[in-house]
Structure 1
Amino acid sequence: MRHHLLLAASLLAFAAPLAAQSPEAVAAAALKAAPVWDGHNDVPEQLRDRRKNVLGDFSFADTAGTADPAKNVAAMQTDLQRLRAGKVGAQFWSVYVSANLNDQQAVQATLEQIDVTKRLVARNAADMQLCVTSDCVAKAMKAGKIASLMGMEGGHSIGGSLAVLRQMYELGARYMTLTHFKNTAWADAATDAPVHDGLTDFGRDVVREMQRLGMLVDLSHVSEATMMDALDVAKAPVIFSHSNALAVNSHPRNVPDAVLARLKANGGIVMVNAYPAYVVEATRQWNVQRATEEARLKALHIGQPKVAADALSAWVKANPAPIGSLKDVADHLDHIRKLAGADAVGLGGDYDGIETTVAGMEDVSTYPALFVELARRGWTQAELEGLASRNMMRVMKAAEAYAASRKGDAPIENPVSF
C-alpha cells in the first residue's frame, strides 16, 4: 500500500508542473519542437528595389543599418540574426515582380528574382539551404539551417504560358499566387474590377497543371469567386500564403467565412500576416477616410498640388493611423481555427513587403511573442506546433503525394501567343 501511495505521489509531482506550465513555456516548447515555416517574405523585392539585384557587399547577417532617412527608406525587416530570434526554420521567399509589367517583362523579372534568391542563399550557405521538397525542409531544419523555398507572387509571372509555368517549377518555384493586385487574363484579383467572374477555362487549367506538377496553388490576392473556382478544381490542398479573416477585417484581400468553411475539406491553410490594413478594421476604415480627404483636398485646391499635399500631410499628422497589435493577429488566428480547424492555420508575415506592421510584430524576430499570446488564449502546444510548421509540412507533403499519383498524366498544353 505504501508503495502505491509513493508511486501516486510521484506521478502527481511530475504532472503538476505540466499542468501549471506558463504560456511562455508552452510557446517555447512548441517552437523548439516545430520552428516557424513562414509562407511569405519579400526580401527578394527589397534586393531589387534597393540594390538592383547587385548583392556586392550586402550582408544578410544584420540589415538593421539599411535605413536611408534622407530617402525616407526604412530598414529591412528581415536578416539572419532576426530570423534566428524569431525561431524561423523555413521560409518561402517571394519572387515578386510588379503586376504593371507586360507578359515578357514579367517573365524576365521573375527569372531575375529567382536568380537573386538563389545567390542570396548560396552566399549564406552556413545558415540557409535551398529546398524544393518537404523532405529537404525537414532535413534542413534538423540541421539547424533555414530551409529556403521560392514562391511566385502573381500569375502574370508566367506570361500566359503553361510551358513557362513548368519551367518556373523546374527552376525551383514551389507556389504561385494566381494574381497580385490586378487581374490576369485568366483570373480575377480581390482588388480589381471583376472581369472573369473568377477563373477562365485557361485559369482552371493553370490550377490543374500546378497541382499535376506539385506546385502549391496560392489564393492570397484573388477574388472570392476565384477562390471558389480554384477550390472546385483543386484535388490537393491550396494555401493562402499571406491573408487574414474577412470576418475580422473586411478588406477584400482577406478570406471570407464561406471559403474558410470549404477549406477544411480541401485540407488547405491560411497563413496570417502582420499588415495593419489587412489585420485591423480601424486601419482599413482610416485608409478610406484618408482617401476621401485626399480627394476632397484635390478638388478644393485645383491646380495647387503642393497646397493639397501639405494639407493632407497636416490631416495625417492630426489623425494618425491606428496600427493595432499582435493581439489583433491572434484574433484572426482564433477565427480561422474556429471555422476551418487548427490544421488550417499558418503564418505568412509579409515582412519586407509591407511598410508598417501591427505593434509587437515589427519584424521577423517577433513570432515568439505571438505564440505566447496564443498560449495565453488556451492554444495547446500541439496546436501551436501545427501553426508554426506542421500544418504547412502536411500541406506540402499532400501536394507532392498528389503530383506523384499523376506522374503518368501528360502536361496540359496551350498554344503560344506570338
Structure 2
Amino acid sequence: PAPEFIATATARDGINEAMEHPEKEIFSVQWHPEAMAANDNEQMLKLFRHHVESSRLFKAAKHIHHRNVTLDSHTDTPMIFPGEFNIGLKEGGKVNLPFMEEGLIDATIMVAYIPQGPRDEVSLQKATDFAMNRLQEIHRQMELNRTRMCIAYTPQEVHVLKAAGKKAIMLGVENGYAIGKDIENIARFRKMGVSYITLCHNGSNDICDSARGDAEWNGLSPFGKEVVRKMNESGVLVDISHAAESTFYDALETSVYPIIASHSSARSLCNHPRNLTDEQLKALAEQGGVAQICLYKGFINEDAEKASLSDAIRHIDHIVDLIGINHVGIGSDFDGDGELIGCRASNELINITMRLLKEGYTENDIAKIWGGNLLRVMNKAQSAPDNSL
C-alpha cells in the first residue's frame, strides 16, 4: 500500500488487491467490482453504497459551506515567506486563495508572528516594526488580488465579502511582545485591522507568563493588565493560546469581554501545556469565550506521528460534550506546522465538515464551529465604545 494507506484485500498469492485511506474517502481495488455488483454480489454492492454515501456527504458539506461562513481562526502564512508573497498563487504554503477556493473556506485570520526575544528597547522596537511589516504585507495582497479577496475588519465585512464571492482575510498578532512597552501600539494594530492579539508565545514577556518557560509574573504583569484593558477599549480580542494557566485566569478576571484561545486543544485528550484543561474550558465558557481546536499534531495526539483528522474530531466532541456547541471552533495553525493525516491544507478543511456530518452534527452546529462562535465573540469585543472602526 502507498504511504498512509492500509491494506483492505489480499489475493491468495499474497498480492495486495485493495487499499483505503483511514481518514479520506479514497478506496482503490485491482478487480472489476462493477461486474460483480451487477450480479447482486452483496460485498461489491457494499463498496458502491460506500462511495455513494461518501458522495452524498461531500455534496451536503459543500451546501453547508455555500450557505454559511467558514473561518479558520489562526494561520501563520505571512511568516513562511522572508519578504513579499502572493496568496493568489500556490506558492508552497498551506493557505492561499486557490486552496481556500478549493476547500470552500471563506475567511482566515493571518497573523504576524514574532518569536520571543530580548526585551531591551532596541529589540522591542524591532519586534514592533517586524509585526507592522508583516501586517502591511498582508494588506498588499488586496492590491494583488482585488477581485478575489479583501481585508476584513469586522464580522459584518466577512459576511459582505462572502456575498460578493470574495475571500476575507482578517489579521492577528501572535505574541504581545510586538506591543513593546508602548501601549498605544494596540490601537495602531487595530487600525490596521488586527482582530486579536495573542498575549505571549513560547516564553514570558513584559505582559504575562507563557505556558512554556519560567514563571515571572504569576500570571499577568501590572503592564499586562493595562494591555488587556486597552485591548478591551480598542475592540481587540484577548487571545490566551500559549499563555500559562495563571495568565489565563488573570485574563478572564481582567477582561470585560469574553476571551478566546485562537489555536488550542483539550489537555484531557493530549497532555500538553499548550492545551486547555477541562477546568479552563469550563471557565472560558462561563465568560462566553471560545476555544478554537488547533490542528498541530503535537497538540492533538501525544503520539504526534499518528495525529489525524479523527483525533481533531475527538477534541471537538470532547469540548462540545463538556461546555456546549457555542464555545468551540477551528484554528488550524497551518503554515505554523499545523497539519494532520487527512487534513494538511486549506483545501482539505472541508473534510472536517464531512466528518462532523457523519458524527451527527446539524448544519446549525457546524456553522457555529466554522466561525459563528468566534465571530459572535468578536462582535462583542468590537462593541467597545472607543473602537472607532
With structure 2 as the length reference, what TM-score do the two structures score?
Answer: 0.81
| Cα deviations by residue, 1:337-359 (Å, 9 ceiling, x for unpaired) | 112211111111011111x6210
| Structure 2 counterpart of 1:112 | 133
3-state SS of 1:47 partner: coil
State whether structure 2 residue 367 is matched by structure 1 residue 346: no
Inter-partner Cα distance in structure 2 for 1:134 and 1:394: 8
Inter-partner Cα distance in structure 1 for 2:147 and 2:237: 28
| Cα deviations by residue, 1:194-249 (Å, 9 ceiling, x for unpaired) | 11111112211111110111101111111111111101112112111111111111
State whether structure 2 residue 306 is matched by structure 1 residue 323: yes
CA 37–158 in structure 1, closer or farther in 2 if over 3 Å, else same: same
Alpha-carbon shift at residue 152 of structure 1 (Å): 0.3
3-state SS of 1:94 partner: strand
| Structure 2 counterpart of 1:337 | 320
| Structure 1 counterpart of 2:50 | none
What is the 5 A alignment of 1:85-100?
A: 85-100=102-117
What is the 5 A alignment of 1:61-80?
A: 61-63=88-90, 66=91, 75-80=92-97
| Structure 1 counterpart of 2:10 | none
> Do the aligned residues in 1 keep the contact of 2:69 with 2:159 (CA within 8 Å)?
no
> Do the aligned residues in 2 keep the contact of 1:26 with 1:380 (CA within 8 Å)?
no
Inter-partner Cα distance in structure 2 for 1:61 and 1:407: 31
| Structure 2 counterpart of 1:37 | 71
With structure 1 as the length reference, what TM-score do the two structures score?
Answer: 0.75
Structure with higher RCO (Cα < 8 A, 6+ apart): 1
Count of residues paired in the alignment: 330
Inter-partner Cα distance in structure 2 for 1:278 and 1:261: 19
The structure richer in strand per residue is 2
Question: Gapped runs of 5+ residues in structure 1?
Answer: 1-20, 67-74, 284-321, 409-418
> Do the aligned residues in 2 keep the contact of 1:60 with 1:79 (CA within 8 Å)?
yes
> Do the aligned residues in 1 keep the contact of 2:104 with 2:350 (CA within 8 Å)?
yes
| Structure 1 counterpart of 2:259 | 238
3-state SS of 1:250 partner: coil
CA 232–33 in structure 1, closer or farther in 2 if over 3 Å, else same: same
Inter-partner Cα distance in structure 2 for 1:272 and 1:398: 21
- Of 167, 182, 200, which aligns to 1:146? 167
RMSD over aligned Cα atoms: 1.8
| Cα deviations by residue, 1:318-371 (Å, 9 ceiling, x for unpaired) | xxxx232100000111111112211111111011111x6210111111111111
3-state SS of 1:375 partner: helix
The structure richer in helix per residue is 1
Inter-partner Cα distance in structure 2 for 1:27 and 1:343: 20
Alpha-carbon shift at residue 282 of structure 1 (Å): 1.8
Inter-partner Cα distance in structure 2 for 1:277 and 1:232: 29
| Structure 2 counterpart of 1:83 | 100
3-state SS of 2:113 partner: coil
State whether structure 2 residue 144 is matched by structure 1 residue 123: yes
- Of 232, 242, 249, which aligns to 1:228? 249
- Of 54, 72, 86, which aligns to 2:84? 54
> Do the aligned residues in 2 keep the contact of 1:263 with 1:340 (CA within 8 Å)?
no
Alpha-carbon shift at residue 30 of structure 1 (Å): 2.5
| Structure 2 counterpart of 1:360 | 342
> Do the aligned residues in 2 keep the contact of 1:323 with 1:357 (CA within 8 Å)?
no
Alpha-carbon shift at residue 61 of structure 1 (Å): 3.3
